[in-house]
């Protein structure tokens, strides 16, 4: 019986996720639906619209965390987000199935706009993963990771005057 219920919930989740991702759905309804499908979510969590969660049963979010609009939480593996964490708009936390370990974002960390974290890794306490950065290894507590910048020197408007 439990196996049948698990299969039914995995079939139903994509439809529920699409419905709760709409802009006019209150945060409390989003969180209640995630909890109903097995997510562990602390008090004070704010989840903006259009967040994509692949497997709520493998997701844990600590108290007072903020999940921005259009974030992807691909929890084929396990994702654990600590308390007071910010995951900014369009960021992606990807924990592949079959990976040994889990993707962990420790308390106070900030995953900035369009950053991509691929697990299993640990983002340390109060660490910052900057906008558009890609992380696939552990980040030490208090560390700031920034994206590399590529410029095209052939365009005079970008390169500036020759000195």
Does 161 reside within a domain?
Answer: no
The number of domains in the chain is: 1
Q: What's the CA gap between 79 and 81, in Å, rounded?
A: 7
Does 12 reside within a domain?
Answer: yes
- Would you call 41 helix, strand, or coil by DSSP? strand
Does 156 reside within a domain?
Answer: no
CATH of the domain at 77: 2.160.10.10
pLDDT for the residue numbered 80: 97
Q: What's the CA gap between 73 and 81, in Å, rounded?
A: 10
Does 159 reside within a domain?
Answer: no
Write a three-state SS string for 75-106: CCCEEEECCCCEECCCCEEECCCCCCCEEEEC
Range of the domain at 104: 2-147
Q: What's the CA gap between 12 and 122, in Å, rounded?
A: 31
Per-residue confidence of the chain (163 residues) as pLDDT tens digits?
455 445 556 678 777 877 777 778 899 999 999 999 999 999 999 999 999 999 999 999 999 999 999 999 998 889 999 999 999 999 999 998 877 889 999 999 999 999 999 989 999 999 999 999 999 999 999 999 998 765 555 555 544 444 4
């Amino acid at each position: 019986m439990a196996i049948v219920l698990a299969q039914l919930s995995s079939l139903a989740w994509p439809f529920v996720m699409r419905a709760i991702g709409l802009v006019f759905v209150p945060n409390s309804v989003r969180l209640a639906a995630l909890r109903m499908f097995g997510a562990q979510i602390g008090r004070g969590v704010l989840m903006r619209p259009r967040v994509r969660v692949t497997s709520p049963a493998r997701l844990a979010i600590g108290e007072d965390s903020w999940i921005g609009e259009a974030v992807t939480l691909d929890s084929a593996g396990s994702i654990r987000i600590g308390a007071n964490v910010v995951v900014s708009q369009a960021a992606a936390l990807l924990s592949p199935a079959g990976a040994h370990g889990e993707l962990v974002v420790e308390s106070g960390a900030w995953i900035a706009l369009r950053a991509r974290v691929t697990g299993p890794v640990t983002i340390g306490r109060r660490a910052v993963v900057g906008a558009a950065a890609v992380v696939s290894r552990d980040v030490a507590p208090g560390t700031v990771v920034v994206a590399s910048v590529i410029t095209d020197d052939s365009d005079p408007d970008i390169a500036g005057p020759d000195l």
